[in-house]
């Protein structure tokens, strides 16, 4: 369940598995193929590059309260994407964030990573998965709608949608 072999829409085989500390070595090659615009959509702030300190923080998550899944192309061992899930203090909800290699967008990886993360949340017994998405991020909002997320304007941040998925509403076959 933690690990899954999947195929992109064009058939490319990809392994989705928990992110490990040694995957820090894969990040520079991955991030050099992520556009500044995609970094902004992910981190909500303009940034030219992700610092080594930030990569270190992303890699050293506390598995008791967080999870991250990496997608790796089987043939090359290259990192194609990552989805994370960080528990809220109440232990019932968790916040996700996702990033896919820019050149790979539209090939089904974001969808597969989101489904994998939602299945993990269900297995873990979480009640709600939620995230923040910029209103201009049409791809992400459409995908969230298709996955059953509810939408609201984020009360704290202008131009941001709060997207929420009650896990009880996720059909078993959809995980």
Ligand X SMILES: CC(C)(COP(=O)(O)OP(=O)(O)OC[C@H]1O[C@@H](n2cnc3c(N)ncnc32)[C@H](O)[C@@H]1OP(=O)(O)O)[C@@H](O)C(=O)NCCC(=O)NCCS
Tell me which residues touch ligand X (CB under 6 A): 38, 41-42, 97-100, 105-111, 131, 133, 137, 139-140, 142-143, 146
The minimum distance between CB 137 and ligand X, in angstroms, equals 5
Q: Which residue is nearest to ligand X (CB)?
A: 110
* Continuous H helices in 36-161: 36-43, 52-59, 109-124, 138-147
Nearer to ligand X, 33 or 38 (CB): 38
Nearer to ligand X, 91 or 106 (CB): 106
Rounded to whole angstroms, what are the CA distances from 31 to 4, 38, 134?
23, 10, 20
The minimum distance between CB 82 and ligand X, in angstroms, equals 9
Nearer to ligand X, 13 or 106 (CB): 106
The minimum distance between CB 97 and ligand X, in angstroms, equals 4
The minimum distance between CB 70 and ligand X, in angstroms, equals 13
Q: What angle, 0 to 180 degrees and rounded to 10, lies between the N-to-C axes of helices 138-147 and 109-124?
A: 40
- What is the rounded distance in angstroms from the CA atom of residue 126 to the CA atom of residue 120? 9
The minimum distance between CB 41 and ligand X, in angstroms, equals 3
Structural contact between residues 66 and 84, judged by C-beta atoms closer than 8 angstroms: yes
Q: What is the DSSP letter of 73?
A: E
> Helix or strand or coil: residue 167?
helix
Rounded to whole angstroms, what are the CA distances from 1 to 6, 20, 159?
12, 16, 36
Nearer to ligand X, 59 or 85 (CB): 85
Nearer to ligand X, 70 or 100 (CB): 100
Q: Which residue has the tokens 């194609």?
A: 80
């Amino acid at each position: 369940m933690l690990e899954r072999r999947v195929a992109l829409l064009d058939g490319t085989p990809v392994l989705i598995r928990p992110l490990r500390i040694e995957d820090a070595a894969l990040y520079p090659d991955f991030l050099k193929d992520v556009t500044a615009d995609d970094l902004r959509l992910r981190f909500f702030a303009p940034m030219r590059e992700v610092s080594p300190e930030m990569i270190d923080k992303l890699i050293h998550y506390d598995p008791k309260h967080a999870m991250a899944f990496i997608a790796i192309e089987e043939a090359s061992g290259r990192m194609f994407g990552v989805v994370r899930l960080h528990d809220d203090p109440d232990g019932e909800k968790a916040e996700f964030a996702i990033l896919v290699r820019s050149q790979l967008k539209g090939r089904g990886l974001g969808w597969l990573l989101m489904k994998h993360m939602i299945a993990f949340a269900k297995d873990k017994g979480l009640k709600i998965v939620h995230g923040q998405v910029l209103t201009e991020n049409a791809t992400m909002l459409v995908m969230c709608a298709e996955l059953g997320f509810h939408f609201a304007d984020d009360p704290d941040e202008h131009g941001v949608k709060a997207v929420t998925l009650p896990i009880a509403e996720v059909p078993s076959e959809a995980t």
